[in-house]
Structure 1
Amino acid sequence: MGHAAGRRPGARHARRLRPQLTRMVWFRFLVAALIGLALGLWTTTRPGDPDLFPAGTGEAGVTVRLLDNGFHTDLAVPRSLLETGDDALARAAKGLAPGDWILVGWGDAVFYVDQSPIRDRLPDGARAFFRPGGNPSVVMLDPTRADPAAWPDASRRVTLRLSQAGARAMRARIKASLSVDAAGAPIVSARRKTDDAVFFRSRERFSIVRLCNHWTAEVLNAAGLSIRPYRSLTSGEVMRAARDAAALDLKPIRD
């Protein structure tokens, strides 16, 4: 009896430790699972469509350019592509100032339009990134007379030759972002006084989990390019995807 009684404190201690050890095991398992999930999402690739990109050898194709300003990407698209038809995107493009190329981008309805120094916009940037439920957004259409191939820094541009079908799919994805009024017309949200850019109301929401570069990546994916959607928060990642895609095109591109 004395020997058995002497073991009871240890047994009680073991029973107290057992739930703690179980919680620790489950905690470590949960942390490992979350890390695995994050790594999996980070490397996930949304495949392209070889029927859309690149253009076939016997096909003229449609040249578009991806431009990087250091943290944001725009697409330079031939005006003729956007003006095709009589839908909301065609009406928006036809109402712009002259220019054979149109820069296309997407972003927060306030932060994206404002061109004041970034240091003066930090509080608004925090609002744009972290507001619950996201923020209203806009599609920018900015006509330019000069071919963006003339940009002096070649490292900040990539030229892509889309198939005709890929160009139509890209156009359809841009159009799908536009919000329209009861008559089906695009809705102007803002105009910049410093240039010819016009910002049209978008159906989509901007937030820290869906930034401007995510949108550009989705447009490229619609045109047939492979992207890594969860890594596309930076302009550098979108440029990498475009360069990798351009390397698949065996037909020389005149830049």
Structure 2
Amino acid sequence: MKLARAVFGWLGLAVGCYFLAGWVGSSIPSQPYYNEPRPGDDAVEIIIATNGVHTSIAVPLRSADMDWTRVFPPSDTANPFRLYTHVAISWGERAVFLDTPTWGDLSPLTVLRVMSVGGDALYHVEHWVRPAPSPDFRTIRISHRQYRALVRALLRDLPERTPDRAVYAGYTDQDVFYDALGTYTVYKTCNEWTGETLRMAGIETGAWTPFAGSVMKWVPPYRAHGSPPIQ
């Protein structure tokens, strides 16, 4: 019993230190790769989305800067016929993505393995139709130069496309998974990947963003139409 209490005590301390480090790291502002003037009227609007645990970056499906259908074609989904307007991109651990359609399906053994040795990565790509801004879907306006840098950052872990590229079924008929480079670890989490992507595009966020809240604390809060200005 003494040994068990000691083990759980040290484990609790380690978890507490991890969450504290995540709070501190995400509170330190990152230094953008370049100083970008305020976006003009032709700025690109992107969306930072969260479900409370996981974050993704949604961008226009087609624009003058990038046609995402060349990389993530809607034909890869089970419902390619909808008039999609946006594609939401995120990165995460393979087993967690493929084997846990709901959080209730998440195995403690999977969590332990990911925390100890990490795991292979996947891209999660969702196709959306005119997503409406909300507290969990927050918009950011960025310059075209930032957007082009964001495109490069979003693609950095995508292996070279081949005719037989694997496509894994998603949770709905509008999303799929693709193989990705990199290893998911307790340091490089799905949300830190989002934060790193934003930093590479010169969009200010936290220096280390391991949690969904670590990312969202830097995104301007949602304001409903007609709501008073934020003081």
TM-score by length of 2: 0.72
1:170 aligns with 2:150: yes
- 5+ residue gaps in structure 1? 1-37, 247-255
What are the within-5 Å matches in structure 2 for residues 95-114 of structure 1?
Answer: 95-96=75-76, 97=80, 98=82, 99-114=84-99
In the alignment, is the contact (CA less than 8 A) between 1:173 and 1:219 conserved in 2? Answer: yes
Q: Report the Cα offset of residue 229 of structure 1.
A: 2.9
Change (3 A) 1:191 1:52: farther
Q: CA deviation at 1:219?
A: 1.3
d(CA) in 1 for partners of 2:184 and 2:64? 23
Counting aligned pairs with the same residue, the percent is: 18
**In angstroms, what is the RMSD of aligned CA positions?**
3.2
TM-score of the superposed pair, with normalisation by structure 1: 0.66
Alignment partner for residue 43 of structure 2, among 57, 61, 79? 61
Task: Report matched runs for 1:145-164 at 5 Å.
Answer: 145-149=129-133, 154-164=134-144
Report the counterpart of residue 105 of structure 2 in structure 1.
Answer: 120
Distance 2:75 2:158 in 1: 15
C-alpha change, 1:78 and 1:85, in structure 2 (3 Å) is closer
- Which residue of the partner structure matches residue 5 of structure 1? none
Q: 1:193/1:233 Cα in 2 relative to 1: closer, same or farther (>3 Å)?
A: closer
CA distance in 2, matches of 1:82, 1:177: 23
Give the corresponding residue for 2:197: 219
Between 1:110-119 and 1:61-70, the stretch displaced more is 110-119
Q: Tell me how far 1:146 sits from its aligned partner.
A: 3.1
Q: Quote how far apart the aligned CAs of 1:137 are.
A: 0.5
Matches within 5 A, 1:179-218: 179-180=159-160, 183=162, 187-192=165-170, 194-218=172-196
Q: CA separation in 2, counterparts of 1:53 and 1:217?
A: 20
- Superposed displacement of residue 53, structure 1: 6.3
More helix by share: 1
The one-letter code of the counterpart of 2:179 is: R
- How many residue pairs end up in the alignment? 197
Local SS of the residue matching 1:110: helix
Q: Structure 2: where are the runs of 5+ without partners?
A: 1-20, 223-231
